[in-house]
Every structure is written in C-alpha cells, then in structure tokens.
A = this chain, B = another copy of it.
Amino acid sequence: MIKQYEIKLPRFGRGFHLITGIIEKTLADLPEQGIVHLFLRHTSAALTINENADPDVPRDMQYAIDKLVPENDPGYIHTIEGPDDMPAHMKSSLLSVSLNIPITNGRMNLGTWQGVYLCEFRNHGGSRKLTATIYS
C-alpha cells in the first residue's frame, strides 16, 4: 500500500534545521510496519539524519560543509545566481535530497539520537517542498 503527502516546509534561513516534529505531525497515521520515503524537490538544499540533541551539532555541520565546499572558488563557472548558489548544488548532491526511514510499531524507527534535518544551503532559499511516500 502506498500513501503520498506533499509537505510544504516553513521558510528557513541558511543552516541545518530539525524537522522531525513536522514530519511526524504530518504523517500522523502511519502503518504498523513499512518505510517512509522523504524526497526534497530542490537542488540547493538537502535532507540528512544526524544528532537531534545538542544544537551545536547542526551549527558545526554547517561550519564543516561550508568549509568543505567554499564559496567564491575561482574555478566555478555557474556564478550568475550568487556565490552561495553553485556550492549549494554541490552540497545538495553530497548530502542528498532523499531519505528512507523504517516504520516499526506504527512509528518512524529512528535511533535515540537521530533526527531529520532540512539542510538549507542558500542565503534566501524560500519555502521548500518535499514529497513523503509511505509504503507498507
């Protein structure tokens, strides 16, 4: 059985934002067992799973990815949309736009410390949309 939902996220600033709560609230009626697939329909943001407890972790994640893929690299050609644009594309591919999470006993079966993050790589990315597909 397949169920699909379109989720419109609030507008987030550049950075890593915990959205586990938004996902759980939207997908309230989960089957006993299955998979949730989350797919972000954008090319300069990403979804990832990481530590959900200490806010320093998403802060440091942003620091680390910005350092890994620096802006204003003179090697870039695709620069017309601003210095944050091409690095955002690269970061989106590195972290990816899709996540699969198992459903067990009617809940997303994340580890104790795992949370779902929206990674916004643009300075002014606007509201992002994702498609959630549940199969069971």
CB pair A97 B49 closer than 8 Å: yes
Is the CB of A67 closer than 8 A to any CB of chain B? yes
Shortest Cβ gap from A22 to chain B (Å)? 18
Interface size class of A (residues with CB under 8 A): 35 or more
CB pair B131 A57 closer than 8 Å: no
Is the CB of A93 closer than 8 A to any CB of chain B? yes
List of B residues within 8 angstroms of A110 by Cβ:
41
CB pair A35 B111 closer than 8 Å: no
Nearest-neighbor residue (CB-CB) of A31 within chain B:
B2
CB pair A98 B99 closer than 8 Å: yes
Which residues of A in the span 30-86 have a Cβ within 8 Å of any Cβ on B? 33-35, 37, 39-43, 48-51, 54, 56-57, 59-61, 63-65, 67-69, 73, 75-78, 86
Shortest Cβ gap from A130 to chain B (Å)? 9
CB pair A43 B49 closer than 8 Å: yes
Cross-chain contact of A93 among B61, B111, B112 (Cβ < 8 A): B61
A48 to B94, CA, bound (A): 9
Cross-chain contact of A89 among B61, B86, B100 (Cβ < 8 A): B61
Cross-chain contact of A42 among B42, B86, B113 (Cβ < 8 A): B113
Shortest Cβ gap from A16 to chain B (Å)? 9
CB pair A43 B86 closer than 8 Å: no
